[in-house]
Structure 1
Amino acid sequence: MRVSRHQLDDRYKAIYENQLGEGNSLWEFHPGKVVLPGFFENYVGRILDAPIRKDDVWLVSYPKTGSTWCQEMIWLIQNNLDFEGSRRVLQQVRAPLIEASVVLFEFTSLFGDDFTNSVDYVANLPSPRAIKTHLPLELLPTQLDKVKPKIIYTMRNPKDVCVSYYFHSQLLHDFYVDFDTFCEMFLNDAIAYGSFFNHCFEAWNKRHEGNILIIRYEDMKKDAKKTVRNIADFLGKTLSDTEVDMIDSYLSFECMRKNKGCNVEALTDKKHGEHSFDKTGIHFLRKGQVGDWKNYMSEEMSRKFDEWIKKNTQGTDLRF
């Protein structure tokens, strides 16, 4: 597959250079309409060629769709409810982001001496591997379609995604544009990882394939225990009611926020200094609410999102 790199519109290029420094704009990659740092081109071929194992479990998602929460469910189910391991080892080490060397390059020293290249690190993990990515399916290993390991895809109302992503971009990437500008960039596929709908439809259109499970964030919030059972069934694991209750309690929002294995505290402290919340006022696990967009979007911006959602879902059965 040939992957091409294109410069963003001059306006968005200027915004990135203003925020990240001259010469540090992001680029748009095709296929996938993915927006990432230019040096992603040094990794994309290796990702496409990465070997796949039948017992892999891949969590694929657009950022800020509940993937950290869902990944803990997956990992605990895979690893016989190893709560101690979940607390002791960073999720980024247990269930690594295959493109971490591109999007978390300033933090990878926290992940251990053998995490010099995230693609190689994933390749050397023992089976069964739990692998995470925010790349769309069309930029993931080509062997996925042949080997067909388990793939879980999380999705969420894009209004809530945008709000959560706005704070995430400040906390981890020093991207401090005003909220309306961020929204406009989101609507125009110019924010990191690019097109929300391209990402969603790549998975949505494959949802009837037996190795793909779609999970909505809103359903996770409505009934987390049901989600745990659905994931366990999908992975061919049997959980007792007691075990489901244990996972549900362990993964409550407040417990996850305190768990240094998945609350990204190690990363935010490296970025902002120890006790980063005291300095930024932002938790990585911020609110975990459905409908929080209502607290931030003006009526006009909400209308723009509604029109954008309608335009992109018209003629399909995808609904938020």
Structure 2
Amino acid sequence: LADLPQYLRGDRRVHPCGFQCPNRRNCWLSWTETPKHLTFSGTTWTQEIVDMIQHNGDTEKCKQVLVQFREQIFIIKHPTGLELAEAMPSPRTIKTHLPTQLLPPSFWEQNCKIIYVARNAKDNLVSYYHFHRMNKGLPDPGTWEEFVEKFMTGKVLWGSWYDHVKGWWKAKDKHRILYLFYEDMKENPKREIQKIAKFLEKDLSQEVLNKIVHNTSFEVMKENPMANYTKDFQGIMDHSISPFMRKGTVADWKNHFTVAQNEKFDEDYKKKMSDTSLVFRMEL
């Protein structure tokens, strides 16, 4: 870990809200999991889907707790995500944004189930930029032009997008990882939700499946105060600048990149993705 850049090291800023986590590194590296536990790295969207599957489509149960508190996240403070996760009954579901090299070893050793959602680099960049703008707990993203450069060089929280998606793509060949694509979920949510349910070994009736598809649609979740982060994080997230659930579309990058930026990004992207079989769709 000593060789990792500051924005990836466990004794510095690791959480996207910029929380300081001194002395947490040894805690999460020694974290013990069991095979029954599920971890997923991805979006609030996936979190809502998993929660609804686990509750067999019962929307009332899902609305009892804010989405950000239904699964614990590595790493938060007061109390730490670790302490909250330890108190959860088994089987427990844990959310993380960590790259593979920072995941506690026990997750690999116990062969836990992991759901990972990857989004194409350009839309990911746009989404992250607006998240930085509205989240007062994050460093100032600077101008759009400046943030594009930071993203391309991996000088953002959680580090390089390229290393992140490629790391998990490689790990899926050795571990129980369901690797999903945001673009596939937008194109055919029913099919992708069925994949998740199968991975979780849950049998859903068509009625329940359709209910989950509807209630986890972007349009419904955007209006759901238990899922859209308009509750609790007051003072940290300014939805007047940019809502947490902003657009939820594919290819919004076309509304942000200039021709020159796009050409430069494509050239850099081609080089950095030349060593992997991982392929993303930039539009549908």
Select 2:123's aligned residue among 141, 160, 174: 160
Q: Per-residue CA shift, 1:207-261, capped at 9, x if unaligned? A: 2345111000000000000111000101111011111100001011111011122
Q: TM (normalized to structure 1)? A: 0.80
Select 2:44's aligned residue among 36, 43, 68: 68
Take 2:132 and 2:216, find their aligned partners in 1: how far apart are those partners?
Answer: 24
In structure 2, the residue matched to 1:94 is 70
8 Å CA contact 1:97, 1:118 repeated in 2: yes
Select 2:236's aligned residue among 264, 271, 277: 271
In structure 1, the residue matched to 2:198 is 233
Select 1:48's aligned residue among 29, 46, 49: 29
8 Å CA contact 1:35, 1:191 repeated in 2: no
Deviation at 1:190, TM superposition (A): 0.7
| Range with greater deviation from structure 2 (77-86 or 198-207) | 77-86
Q: Kindly provide the amino acid, as one letter, of the partner of residue 52 in structure 1.
A: E
Deviation at 1:161, TM superposition (A): 0.3
Take 2:218 and 2:108, find their aligned partners in 1: how far apart are those partners?
Answer: 35
Q: Kindly provide the amino acid, as one letter, of the partner of residue 28 in structure 1.
A: Y
8 Å CA contact 2:41, 2:96 repeated in 1: yes
Deviation at 1:42, TM superposition (A): 1.8
Take 2:79 and 2:3, find their aligned partners in 1: how far apart are those partners?
Answer: 24
Match of 1:317, SS state, is coil
Where do 1:152-301 residues align within 5 Å? Answer: 152-173=115-136, 175-209=140-174, 211-271=176-236, 276-277=238-239, 279-280=240-241, 282-301=242-261
Q: TM (normalized to structure 2)? A: 0.90
Count of matched residue pairs: 274
8 Å CA contact 1:81, 1:247 repeated in 2: yes
Take 1:210 and 1:233, find their aligned partners in 2: how far apart are those partners?
Answer: 16
Greater share of residues in helix: 1
Q: Per-residue CA shift, 1:37-72, capped at 9, x if unaligned? A: 6943521221111110221111124xxxxx110111
Take 1:129 and 1:137, find their aligned partners in 2: how far apart are those partners?
Answer: 20
* Structure 2: 5+ residue stretches without partners: none
* Structure 1: 5+ residue stretches without partners: 9-26, 62-66, 102-114
8 Å CA contact 1:155, 1:215 repeated in 2: yes
- The alpha-carbon distance between structure 1 residues 135 and 307, as it changes in their structure 2 partners (threshold 3 A), is same
RMSD of aligned Cα (Å):
2.1
% of aligned pairs identical? 32
Does residue 124 of structure 2 align to residue 128 of structure 1?
A: no
8 Å CA contact 1:51, 1:143 repeated in 2: yes
Take 1:48 and 1:151, find their aligned partners in 2: how far apart are those partners?
Answer: 17
